[in-house]
Amino acid sequence: MASKDHQIKNGGWMFFLIIFIDMLSNGLIDGSKVSNPKTEESEDDIIKCVDIYKQPAFSHPFLKNHTIQMKPSSGGLRERKNTKLLQEWNKKASCPEGTIPILKSQKFSNEHKVASVLSKRMQPHVFDVNSGALEYCQFIINSGTYFGASGGFNIWHPTIYGEEFSSSQMWVQAGSGHDLNSLEAGWRVLSGETKTSFFIYWTTDIDEKTGCYNLECPGFVQTNNKIALGYDILPISIYGGKQYDIEITIFKDMKNGNWWLEMNGEAVGYWHPAILTSLSKQADTISWGGKIYNSQTNGRHTSTQMGSGHPSNEGNGKASMIYNVRYVDELGGFIVPEDIKFLESNPDCYNITFGDTPLNDRGMYFYFGGPGFSKDCP
């Protein structure tokens, strides 16, 4: 009888052990898997809360023994906006301190494969106006040394054709050719997506062997437990109506060399200088603007929109805007640029209009974008 009781006890322990292992492997323990509020558009999106020291960055060979810096020691805007409405998942769920939210979405991953292949093939960070595939509207400074940049971006949801994409973003870059380093952040829409998402990107070799979006490879060290990279941001600006925006800052912490990312004045995380080459010291080019991929289906331009999908000359509340355009100098000051260049790779389809009329709290600004295929964009 005692032997039978012993077998039952062992069986019970084995049952609970199997359940525990299953929960562990599915992220329910030491991962606090959190589903976002179920909606028809985003029912496949899942936020998984991951221990901050088990995030992808620590798989990078240069970061295996890295101690996380939780806050910048210098720099940043120090101006915080209310971000609680930007990502709906954390209205009903949250990740505890000591963890970070990571998006697990099959829909996002499948669509990203297309964008990733195109990015590597077309080398999107080279300003080649004759590429015939990736098209830009950019506001560029490249006549000095820079230690960061910032800008405000109103949020839109441009229409995407086929397997194309559209983004509004900022680039912080150094180097050239195969040694081109690029740190990027902004919003984008991929094909099939019903919402606009916040994204980051980095590469140190023009996408040849390094580089990825969000946390899809080791590199970016996230410290924020409220902002999920790659997740939807809401609400969207209304054409001719209320405008919604995000402010993005990338700056170098002069004490330790980390390149920090802030959204609306809140630190998101950083790129450690050990993973960079040309950007380990400073940037030589800063850009703000839009980018789309045009697959030239049937030998003509496609209908993928940039920005709001309306021409830049429609102006405030109608065209996509980037405002408070500034770079960071070696003292950590935010400076309005003077020596400015514009890049319109296909001005018949997408263009830029510089804002020469002062707007409240907008500083230096410009409008950009367009509808894609039209009578003016064959």
Rounded-to-integer distance, Cα 45 and Cα 108, Å: 8
Rounded-to-integer distance, Cα 216 and Cα 211, Å: 9
pLDDT value, residue 206: 83
By three-state DSSP, how is residue 9 classified?
helix
Instruction: Give which of 277, 224, 280 is closest to 257, Cα–Cα.
Output: 280
Please state, as a whole number, how many other Cβ atoms lie within 10 Å of the Cβ of residue 348.
13
pLDDT along the chain (378 residues), means of 10: 40 37 34 34 68 96 94 71 67 89 63 46 41 86 98 98 96 95 98 92 90 94 96 95 97 96 96 96 98 91 97 98 98 95 96 94 97 96
172: which 2 tokens?
Answer: 């912080």
* CA angle centred on 161, ends 157 and 166, rounded to 5°: 45
Instruction: Give which of 220, 209, 374 is closest to 301, Cα–Cα.
Output: 374
pLDDT value, residue 248: 98
pLDDT value, residue 92: 77
Give residue 306's region: left, alpha or beta (phi > 0; psi -120 to 50).
beta
Contact 367, 315 (CB under 8 A): yes
What pTM was estimated for this model as a whole? 0.84
189 exposure class (CB count in 10 Å sphere: 0-12, 13-18, 19+): buried
Phi then psi dihedrals of residue 50, to 5 deg: -115, 140
Q: Within 13 Å and on the Cβ side, how many CA atoms surround 95?
A: 27
